Structure 1
């Protein structure tokens, strides 16, 4: 079972100085770039988003009230825990009408992967499994994770659990969990 501790992730400043990103995980690509990346960003100032041509983004506000995104001229309000999908190469500008926010970013190479983010309310009675091709990020509350061969381990806020089909980790607790699914794109899809 693999847990990625948020407290151990290095904050990388953005090129435009508007915030920082902490990369949770990525999968490399043949061209030296990546096919997908999952990260948490702190947005402290309004401004342009970096363009990722050939990529698709799913952005979810996980802390703060509201993010106003203008994507290719169309304004889109993003409220907490409501994932929003958009073209990574689109001209994107952010406004912070209610102050700083933190977001969960899933970016996938369009021809290689499709990313999904689901927000799950945890239960103390029924564990939520995390399967192969998924990451589960504790957004709020208290939770433990275990697989069949281990004692439960405490999760901190924004800690991530890497999924597995062989011995699926299970998250149990109270609060909210983001489940990120990264599905390979096959010919014909």
Structure 2
């Protein structure tokens, strides 16, 4: 079972100086591409802190899903059209578009899922956790604790339960899953990410909200 600890991630400044980004995961990895900010990957999941209004970096040939995690509002302009983005409301747009952000209510933090068009497609769903019903995280997914208290255990190998890869959703309800009897739960801190697996599928229990990021290969 793999956990990415947010507190251990290095912050990389934006090219325009408007914030910093911490990469949770990418493919190929940053080590393989030498520079994770240059777009030499086919997909990337990151969390950004935005403290200054201004242009977003362009990612030609990519698609983006952006979700505000902290702060009240991001006013996103995409090719001249304004989109008010509220907390926990994922929004999809093209990385080719001219995009800029304004901060009418102050600084924000957001989750970014960027995928190479025609190769991968990314989805972000926000679910409400339960202490009685574990939420499984499958292969090709990341489960990111956004708020509250939660712990993860290795689940039952080969479990077929779960939330199918879907579109952008508002907070919903976790799926039932029994977990592995006797498994010691590992506590999660805010923004820690659990890497999904179909063998010993990790299962998350707690109170709060979880972002489930699914990266699907196009054509699979």
TM-score by length of 2: 0.82
Partner residue, 1:144: 151
Q: 1:115-165: CA deviations, max 9, x gaps?
A: 000000000000000000000000000000000474100000000000000
Superposed structure 1 runs of 4+ greater than 2 Å apart: none
Q: How does 1:40-59 map to 2 (within 5 A)?
A: 40-59=47-66
2:109 is paired with a residue whose SS is strand
Q: How does 1:150-189 map to 2 (within 5 A)?
A: 150-186=183-219
**For this pair of structures, how many residues does the alignment match?**
186
Could you say what the CA RMSD is over the residues aligned between the two structures, in angstroms?
1.4
Q: Structure 2: any 5+ residue segments left out of the alignment?
A: 34-39, 156-179
Q: Structure 1: any 5+ residue segments left out of the alignment?
A: none
CA distance in 1, matches of 2:8, 2:122: 24
CA distance in 1, matches of 2:4, 2:184: 17
CA distance in 1, matches of 2:190, 2:82: 30
TM-score by length of 1: 0.96
Partner residue, 1:87: 94
CA distance in 2, matches of 1:5, 1:120: 20
Q: Pick the aligned partner of 2:76 from 69, 76, 84.
A: 69
Residues 77-86 or 146-155, more deviating: 146-155
CA distance in 2, matches of 1:185, 1:71: 25
Structure showing the higher strand proportion among its residues = 1
CA distance in 1, matches of 2:207, 2:82: 34
CA distance in 1, matches of 2:210, 2:109: 15
CA distance in 2, matches of 1:121, 1:49: 30
